[in-house]
Amino acid sequence: MALLELSDVHARYGPISALHGVSLGVDEGAIVALLGANGAGKTTTLRAISSTVRKTGEITFDGHDISRRAPEDVARLGIAHVPEGRGTLGQLTVWENLRMGAYVRRGGASKVDYDRVCGYFSWIPARRNQVAATLSGGEQQMLAIARALMMRPRLLLLDEPSLGLAPIVVQEIFKIIRAVNEQDKVTVLVVEQNASIALQAAAHAYVLEVGKVAVSGTSAELQKDEAVRRSYLGY
């Protein structure tokens, strides 16, 4: 059974509806990519999962119905959402950001988690007391992932980690995402506009179009499919 399952999820911002019945599943231990054009509903889908948008439909996580839970309760189940814009706590230091990441953990941030996170991001110890807003865009993205990992999440929701970053930084970030997935067994659902890099990392992908899943399949299938490639992936 899938770790996360959405079935017939509708969502709206005031009078404007953004999702018209999205259904998808994310298997435990997988990296799944959510692709699509601007305004297709990718971000909204993540927000529906973390309960930060008004929605109807069924969302289950590890067998629990989470569709009616408050965002903070969803987080407490082990779903770490790195939102659009990275959610950096800009006025706080790097270390305080990490402590906030471990907020839901009993006893707060542990040495073990901190060392593990520093294993992925070796620059962190030296910059521990730097104010987060003064980090570069790439560093802020990495800090956002590091902060999410401090929670020891079972599911990591990433909203466009490549946004506004240099290609080389994007490569590094996706390398880390794969490492996190393999070493720490964290399931990842990643929203991307940059379809080619997302498909390299993901085993499975869904393509959204106007608030609905238009195509889905393994990354290999989607990369091979000429029509899909042209109309949805743009290369």
Which residues of this protein are in contact with other proteins, per CB under 8 A?
A: 50, 52, 70-72, 75-76, 80-81, 83, 87-92, 96, 99-101, 103-104, 108, 147, 151
Minimal distance in Å, beta carbon 43 to other proteins? 13
Whole-angstrom distance, CA of residue 43 vs CA of residue 21: 15
Rg of the chain on CA atoms, in Å: 17
Whole-angstrom distance, CA of residue 50 vs CA of residue 151: 15
Q: Which is nearer to other proteins, 147 or 204 (CB)?
A: 147
Q: Which is nearer to other proteins, 99 or 178 (CB)?
A: 99
Minimal distance in Å, beta carbon 80 to other proteins? 8
Whole-angstrom distance, CA of residue 118 vs CA of residue 102: 14
Q: Is 160 helix (H, G, I), strand (E, B) or coil?
A: coil
Minimal distance in Å, beta carbon 104 to other proteins? 4
Minimal distance in Å, beta carbon 133 to other proteins? 11
Q: Which is nearer to other proteins, 143 or 205 (CB)?
A: 143
Q: Where are the beta strands (DSSP E) in 48-194?
A: 54-61, 64-65, 79-82, 155-159, 187-191
Q: Which is nearer to other proteins, 42 or 81 (CB)?
A: 81
Whole-angstrom distance, CA of residue 183 vs CA of residue 119: 11
Q: Which is nearer to other proteins, 97 or 216 (CB)?
A: 97
Minimal distance in Å, beta carbon 219 to other proteins? 27
Whole-angstrom distance, CA of residue 79 vs CA of residue 73: 9
